[in-house]
């Protein structure tokens, strides 16, 4: 029978960037003596250094805390959430594991765009939202204004909101008390068939892939024979436990609990976020909200040093162990040699993977133009899914092409509506609807080509709205589009790594931008190098890198040959790092600068 | 005059190996804006001490090398060797003669500035055995000289030449710089016209390179002076090359032009990878396949010599075969003789052409290189101008 599990509270913390989410989490852990103060590093939960540097949390690290109020001991499970639009689905699953959320508002800044977007996400997941006013230690703190902001803009009462300083630890107890008082206890039935929501997974060298779960109903312990309802995979549980925030083995997880299940699962690819774990013997219904996570953007990754192909392969395998959303298959490029075609959740994800390859595995890699997946319908009736420009059939074989579109919800103060409209139109978007959510909050709905969004839409949106706007999106389907493949020719030889699929209306502009950029970054060489952009063999843009005319050291003073030697060594080193594209040599950085070019 | 007057005349046909000696004098009365060489202002005491250290260093080397080598050339560079009183140079050379076997015919060069010599000094140099003068003129344009931070005039230069010639010395070289900020093609033409009028038999024309750490580098970086365009520098260089060629000079190295018999023996040592010994602060040496260089820090230099009683070497590198091959290409292609492929085969037991066939063929086809009948690979004028890129192509 379902009942209130009155000693448990499951919650997450949501906040605008820099409003103090991770710091508050640290203070809660300290106050509840989950961690000793001396062990507490700044921002305990952000476990990966790359993410820490970027100030964003991607990996969700839950923590179980014990807190005694009025003589009763409560178990508080904090589930942290990532903060980037690439990971919207993961956030939604984490929130689905909670009953409430702490909404941090900066006492000096009030409600910000992201605060609002995050609130809506929490609201959609039926969470009880508990506002907290942070940064009271700052002289410019204006808690009353912040509270008024919350009531006026978000529309929830903020009178009781604790005024805290996560930095100094002021009023942390009040936050904990309110968690107990105001966040609903989870409801569930220990006796019912097992329903465990997977909200994340990670890879452990000894345990293999581990599921992070919220038990909705039933119990799970060592030896339980389980089944993943979406994938149909079956396992036997080896171990269960909780996070404090280091893992701590336990005997059993019951309805309402948050913890981990390890079951000799080989890779995290076998674990789907949003999937439901049940018992083989007594199968329950899958929990709602599951979505297959699919890469939205594809790019080739090649080692700069061709000998490092196997090292790259090993590195990708290792990353894949802990990052199920990464997919890859071998790819060969005439310009770049052997590498992999990889799929990512978005450009941030792509950047994180390449940074991990470079930092953790010491690999210098080149990534090719990111691309989404197009449906290509050929005249002979065949349908192809193309995410690599190299695989695009010849123009005369193509009947038509469809490209993926998304439905975007953009939240912003009204003064930026004009700028957002312009941006939406510039990105080939179709305006759908606009709603005033409050006096100074507007929600705009657009249909946008995914290709335009994955590149720099988020950055552009932030810069045109001074960081006030935020957005989330979901794939809405495919629509017919006039896409063309543009080939780049260096020294009259096609450079497949620079080929791209673009909308015809953008082809000329993009080609000009790339040929100009190439002209800028291709170092002059002994021979003149023509740079051409073509569609189906027809040149639409052209530049020329003039031949090098002067490159000589004048003097060799007093027999100082070592100066020359050094220069030669430096040049040789530089040349080694050059990427040979056909007969043209290009420094890797130059190549990257083209690939990173604004999608203007 | 000759060094035989020191009673040290050496059998010209000595079977001992040939050595060249470079001595660095790191003192100047003022520093030119483009100069990145080790030089400084100094007190008389500093100078005295430095020359005492030089003597000690020379003696250290002598114990090692005098039995193996005879000295074919000496080059006293700087800095401004002529900014010092003459007796420093006299005593220095005398020390070399005493400690090394110096050929009677040895080429002995001193670098001088037009305004730091007088009749007496020049006489003393010649009496000390100097038989070649290298004068830093750089330009005759007063405006350009001022930009460079140089303190002499074109007039000083003409007087110095006349003085040297009064003593019967014909072996005179002059350095000029092309491509200096503010310099015009006409300045180069005027400068060259004067040198031709004076019949200077050896001219070094150096393209300016803006070196890190120089005042010029700062000025260029902060935009207060602009470098002449690449095209202008090429025009200047080509003007010099064409004019001097027409006037009977041979471009025996990219920056060095000489009338017949006036090529610098010492200069060519560097390009031919022959043995040379550098003495003094920051001086470089190449002996028996090892390149080494003295410290650039004068306090350290003094300490090593006076207290540690060791050679003041800070870097030393025994070249690998591969590095020697690279240097052969890098250095010989700067010269008119080019890369002697037969000599290359003898030295490295490797057929250069066979190994680099595709690249060489392309470079020849595109007019950067020529293969002569006697199997030398030489640069065309077009090739000389992009020598770095050609060398890089050939060694990687």
Q: What is the pLDDT of residue A56?
A: 46
Domain C-terminal end among B271, B287, B312: B271
For B92-115, give the DSSP string.
HHHHHHHHS-EEEEEEEEEEE-TT
Domain C-terminal end among B231, B253, B271: B271
Tell me the mean pLDDT in the region A174-201.
93
Examine residue B282 and state whether it is found in any structural domain, yes or no. no
Decide which of A85 and B253 is more confident: B253
Q: Where are the domains of chain A?
A: 3-186, 189-279, 297-368, 375-481, 484-595
Topology at the third CATH level for domain A484-595: Alpha-Beta Plaits (3.30.70)
In this structure, the dihedral spanned by the alpha carbons of residues A403, A404, A405 and A408, taken in order and rounded to 10 degrees, is -140
Question: Is residue B334 located within the same domain as residue B234?
Answer: no
Question: Is residue B19 located within the same domain as residue B121?
Answer: yes
CB atoms near residue A559 (< 10 Å): 24
State the maximum Cα–Cα separation within chain B, in Å, rounded to a whole number: 60
Beta bridge pairs of residue A483: A503
Q: What is the pLDDT of residue A510?
A: 87
Question: For testing the chain A interface, which of B38, B79, B284, B325 should be mutated: the one with the most A CBs within 10 Å?
Answer: B284
Residue B37's closest chain A neighbor by CA? A557
- Does the reported pTM lie above 0.80? no
- CA A189: distance to chain centroid? 35
Examine residue B307 and state whether it is found in any structural domain, yes or no. no
How far is Cα A411 from Cα A534, in angstroms, rounded to an integer? Answer: 39
Examine residue B215 and state whether it is found in any structural domain, yes or no. yes
Examine residue B289 and state whether it is found in any structural domain, yes or no. no
Q: What is the pLDDT of residue A456?
A: 73
| Architecture of the A3-186 domain | 3-Layer(aba) Sandwich (3.40)
Per residue in A380-438, pLDDT tens? 999 999 988 988 998 889 999 999 998 888 888 888 999 999 999 989 999 999 988 76
Residue A578's closest chain B neighbor by CA? B396
For B17-80, give the DSSP string.
EEEEEEEEE-B-SS--TT--SS-B---HHHHHHHHHHHHHHHHHHHHHHTTTEEEEEEEEEES-
Q: Is A383 on the interface with B (CB under 8 A)?
A: no
Could A559 and B286 be called an inter-chain contact, meaning their C-beta atoms sit closer than 8 Å? yes
A596 contacts: CB under 8 Å, gap ≥ 6: none
Q: Give the model's confidence band at A379: pLDDT under 50 very low, under 70 low, under 90 confident, else very high.
A: very high
How far is Cα A206 from Cα B133, in angstroms, rounded to an integer? Answer: 78
CB contacts, 8 Å: B37 with chain A: 557-558
Residue A318 has, within 13 A of its CA and on its CB side, a CA count of 12
Examine residue B296 and state whether it is found in any structural domain, yes or no. no
Q: Give the model's confidence band at A597: pLDDT under 50 very low, under 70 low, under 90 confident, else very high.
A: low
Question: For testing the chain A interface, which of B294, B328, B389 should be mutated: the one with the most A CBs within 10 Å?
Answer: B389
Question: Is residue B379 located within the same domain as residue B262?
Answer: no
Indicate the range of A40-44, A222-226, A516-520, B161-165 predicted with least confidence.
Answer: A40-44
Q: What is the pLDDT of residue A49?
A: 53
Mean of the per-residue pLDDT values of chain A = 85
- CA A335: distance to chain centroid? 29
Q: What is the pLDDT of residue A483?
A: 94
* Closest partner CB to A550 (pick from B75, B234, B293): B234
Tell me the mean pLDDT in the region A64-68.
94
pLDDT of A86 over the 70 cut: no
Q: What is the pLDDT of residue A45?
A: 47
pLDDT of A261 over the 70 cut: yes
Q: What is the pLDDT of residue A574?
A: 76
Topology at the third CATH level for domain A297-368: Alpha-Beta Plaits (3.30.70)
- CA B344: distance to chain centroid? 24
pLDDT of B154 over the 70 cut: yes
Q: What is the pLDDT of residue B1?
A: 44
How far is Cα A83 from Cα A90, in angstroms, rounded to an integer? Answer: 10
CB contacts, 8 Å: B283 with chain A: 558
* Closest partner CB to B209 (pick from A554, A560, A575): A554
Could B326 and A557 be called an inter-chain contact, meaning their C-beta atoms sit closer than 8 Å? no
- Domain containing B132: what range? 3-271
Using the structure block, give the residue that is written with the tokens 């110095």: B160
Could B392 and A554 be called an inter-chain contact, meaning their C-beta atoms sit closer than 8 Å? no
A217 contacts: CB under 8 Å, gap ≥ 6: A2, A188, A189, A190, A192, A193, A194, A195, A255, A284
Per residue in B26-38, pLDDT tens? 999 888 999 888 8
Class at the top of the CATH hierarchy for domain A189-279: mainly beta
Examine residue B285 and state whether it is found in any structural domain, yes or no. no
Q: What is the CATH number of the domain that holds B61?
A: 3.20.20.70
Q: Pick the closest to residue A526 from A494, A507, A549 (CA basis).
A: A549
- CA A295: distance to chain centroid? 11
Considering the domain A375-481 in this protein, what is its CATH number? 3.30.70.240
CB contacts, 8 Å: B334 with chain A: 556
Examine residue B312 and state whether it is found in any structural domain, yes or no. no
Question: Is residue B264 located within the same domain as residue B373?
Answer: no
- Report the gap between the CA of B383 and the closest CA in chain A (Å): 9
Q: What is the CATH number of the domain that holds B378?
A: 1.10.10.920
How far is Cα B216 from Cα B357, in angstroms, rounded to an integer? Answer: 42
How far is Cα A297 from Cα A388, in angstroms, rounded to an integer? Answer: 10
Q: Pick the closest to residue B52 from B305, B308, B235, B269 (CA basis).
A: B305
pLDDT of B354 over the 90 cut: yes
Question: What is the SS3 assignment for B237-304?
Answer: HHHHHHHHHHCCCEEEECCEEECCCCCCHHHHHHHCCCCEEEECCCCEEEECCEEEEECCCHHHHHHH
Domain C-terminal end among B242, B271, B300: B271
Q: Give the model's confidence band at A575: pLDDT under 50 very low, under 70 low, under 90 confident, else very high.
A: confident
C-alpha pair distances (Å), B58 with each of B11, B34, B52, B53: 22, 30, 10, 9
* Closest partner CB to A550 (pick from B255, B386, B396): B386
pLDDT of B73 over the 70 cut: yes
Could A575 and B388 be called an inter-chain contact, meaning their C-beta atoms sit closer than 8 Å? no
Q: What is the pLDDT of residue A599?
A: 42
Mean of the per-residue pLDDT values of chain B = 93
Could B269 and A559 be called an inter-chain contact, meaning their C-beta atoms sit closer than 8 Å? yes
Per residue in B272-326, pLDDT tens? 999 999 999 999 999 999 999 999 999 999 999 999 999 999 999 999 999 999 9
pLDDT of B90 over the 60 cut: yes
Tally of domains within chain B: 2
Q: Are A32 and A110 in contact (CB under 8 A)?
A: no
Q: Pick the closest to residue A508 from A481, A471, A533, A491 (CA basis).
A: A533
Question: Is residue B231 located within the same domain as residue B343?
Answer: no
Q: Give the model's confidence band at A102: pLDDT under 50 very low, under 70 low, under 90 confident, else very high.
A: very high
Q: Establish whether domains A297-368 and A484-595 are of one fold.
A: yes
End-to-end CA distance of chain A: 58
Question: Is residue B241 located within the same domain as residue B331?
Answer: no
Q: Is A576 on the interface with B (CB under 8 A)?
A: yes
Per residue in A10-65, pLDDT tens? 999 888 766 777 888 889 998 998 887 655 555 444 445 555 454 444 455 789 99
Cis peptide before A104 (omega within 30 of 0): no
């Amino acid at each position: 029978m379902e009942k209130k599990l009155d000693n448990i509270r499951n919650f997450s913390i949501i906040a605008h960037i820099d409003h103090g989410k991770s710091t508050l989490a640290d203070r809660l852990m300290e106050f509840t003596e989950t961690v000793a103060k001396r062990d507490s590093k700044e921002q305990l939960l952000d476990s990966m250094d790359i993410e820490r540097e970027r100030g964003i949390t991607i990996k969700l690290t839950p923590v179980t805390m014990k807190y005694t109020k009025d003589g009763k001991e409560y178990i508080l499970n904090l589930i942290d959430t990532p903060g980037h639009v690439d990971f919207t689905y993961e956030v939604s699953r984490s929130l689905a594991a909670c009953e409430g959320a702490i909404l941090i508002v900066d006492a000096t800044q009030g409600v910000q765009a992201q605060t609002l977007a995050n609130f809506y996400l929490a609201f959609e997941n039926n969470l009880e939202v508990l506002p907290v006013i942070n940064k009271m230690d700052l002289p410019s703190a204006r808690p009353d204004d912040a509270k008024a902001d919350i009531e006026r803009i978000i529309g929830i009462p903020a009178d009781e909101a604790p005024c805290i300083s996560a930095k100094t630890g002021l009023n942390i107890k009040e936050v904990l008390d309110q968690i107990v008082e105001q966040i609903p206890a989870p409801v569930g039935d220990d006796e019912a068939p097992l329903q465990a929501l997977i909200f994340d997974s990670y890879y452990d060298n000894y345990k293999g892939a581990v599921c992070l779960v919220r038990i909705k109903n039933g119990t799970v312990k060592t030896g339980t024979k389980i089944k993943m309802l979406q994938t149909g995979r079956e396992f036997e549980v080896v171990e269960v436990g909780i996070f404090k925030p280091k893992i701590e083995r336990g005997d059993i997880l019951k309805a309402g609990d948050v913890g981990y299940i390890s079951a000799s699962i080989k890779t995290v690819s076998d674990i789907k976020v949003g999937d439901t774990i049940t018992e083989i013997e007594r199968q329950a219904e899958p929990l709602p909200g599951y979505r297959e996570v699919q890469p939205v953007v594809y790019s080739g990754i090649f080692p700069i040093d061709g000998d490092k192909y196997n090292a790259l392969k090993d590195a990708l395998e290792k990353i894949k162990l802990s990052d199920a959303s990464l997919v890859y298959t071998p790819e060969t490029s005439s310009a770049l040699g052997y590498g992999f075609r990889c799929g990512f959740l978005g450009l941030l994800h792509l950047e994180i993977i390449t940074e991990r390859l470079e930092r953790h595995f010491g690999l210098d890699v080149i990534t090719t133009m990111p691309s989404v997946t197009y449906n290509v319908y050929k005249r002979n009736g065949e349908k192809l899914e193309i995410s690599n420009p190299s695989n695009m059939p010849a123009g005369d074989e193509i009947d038509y092409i469809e490209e993926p579109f998304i439905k975007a919800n953009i939240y912003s103060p009204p003064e930026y509506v004009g700028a957002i409209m312009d941006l939406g139109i510039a990105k080939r978007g179709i305006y759908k609807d606009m709603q005033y959510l409050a006096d100074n909050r507007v929600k705009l709905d657009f249909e946008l080509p995914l290709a335009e969004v994955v590149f720099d839409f988020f950055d552009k949106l932030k810069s045109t709205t001074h960081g006030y706007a935020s957005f989330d999106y979901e794939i809405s389907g495919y629509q017919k589009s006039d896409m063309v493949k543009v080939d780049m020719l260096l020294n009259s030889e096609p450079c497949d790594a620079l080929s791209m699929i673009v909308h015809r209306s953008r082809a000329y502009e993009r080609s000009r931008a790339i040929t100009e950029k190439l002209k800028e970054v291709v170092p002059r060489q002994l021979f003149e190098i023509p740079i051409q952009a073509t569609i189906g063999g027809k040149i639409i843009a052209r530049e020329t890198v003039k031949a090098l005319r002067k490159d000589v050291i004048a003097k060799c003073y007093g027999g100082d040959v070592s100066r020359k030697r050094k220069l030669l060594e430096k040049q040789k080193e530089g040349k080694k790092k050059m990427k040979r594209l056909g007969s043209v040599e290009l420094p890797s950085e130059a190549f990257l600068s083209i690939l990173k070019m604004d999608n203007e | 005059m000759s060094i035989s007057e020191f009673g040290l005349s050496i059998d010209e046909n000595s079977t001992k190996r040939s050595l060249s000696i470079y001595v660095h004098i790191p003192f100047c009365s003022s520093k030119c804006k483009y100069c990145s060489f080790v030089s400084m202002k100094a007190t008389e005491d500093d100078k005295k001490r430095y020359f005492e250290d030089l003597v000690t260093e020379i003696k250290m080397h002598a114990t090692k090398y005098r039995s193996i080598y005879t000295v074919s050339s000496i080059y006293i560079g700087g800095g401004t060797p002529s900014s010092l009183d003459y007796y420093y140079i006299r005593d220095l050379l005398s020390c070399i003669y005493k400690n090394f076997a110096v050929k009677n015919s040895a080429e002995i060069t001193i670098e001088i500035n037009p305004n730091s010599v007088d009749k007496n000094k020049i006489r003393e140099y010649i009496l000390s055995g100097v038989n070649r003068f290298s004068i830093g003129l750089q330009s005759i344009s007063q405006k350009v000289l001022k930009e460079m931070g140089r303190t002499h005039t074109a007039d000083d230069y003409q007087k110095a030449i006349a003085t040297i010639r009064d003593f019967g010395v014909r072996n005179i070289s002059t350095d000029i710089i092309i491509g200096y900020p503010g310099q015009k093609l006409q300045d180069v033409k005027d400068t060259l016209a004067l040198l031709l009028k004076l019949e200077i038999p050896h001219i070094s024309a150096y393209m300016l390179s803006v070196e890190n750490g120089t005042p010029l580098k700062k000025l260029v970086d902060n935009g207060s002076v602009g470098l002449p365009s690449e095209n202008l520098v090429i025009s200047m260089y080509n003007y010099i090359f064409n004019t001097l060629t027409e006037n009977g000079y041979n471009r025996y190295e990219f920056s060095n032009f000489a009338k017949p018999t006036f090529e610098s023996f010492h200069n060519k040592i560097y390009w031919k990878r022959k043995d040379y010994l550098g003495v003094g602060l920051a001086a470089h040496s190449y002996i028996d396949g090892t390149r080494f260089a003295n410290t650039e820090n004068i306090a350290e230099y003094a300490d090593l010599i006076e207290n540690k009683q060791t050679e003041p070497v800070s870097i030393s590198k025994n070249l690998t075969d591969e590095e020697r091959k690279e240097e052969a290409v890098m250095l010989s292609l700067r010269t008119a003789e080019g890369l002697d492929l037969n000599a290359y085969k003898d030295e490295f037991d490797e057929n250069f052409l066979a190994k680099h066939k595709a690249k060489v063929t392309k470079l020849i086809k595109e007019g950067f290189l020529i293969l002569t009948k006697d199997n030398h690979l030489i640069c065309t004028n077009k090739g000389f101008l992009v020598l770095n890129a050609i060398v890089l192509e050939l060694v990687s």
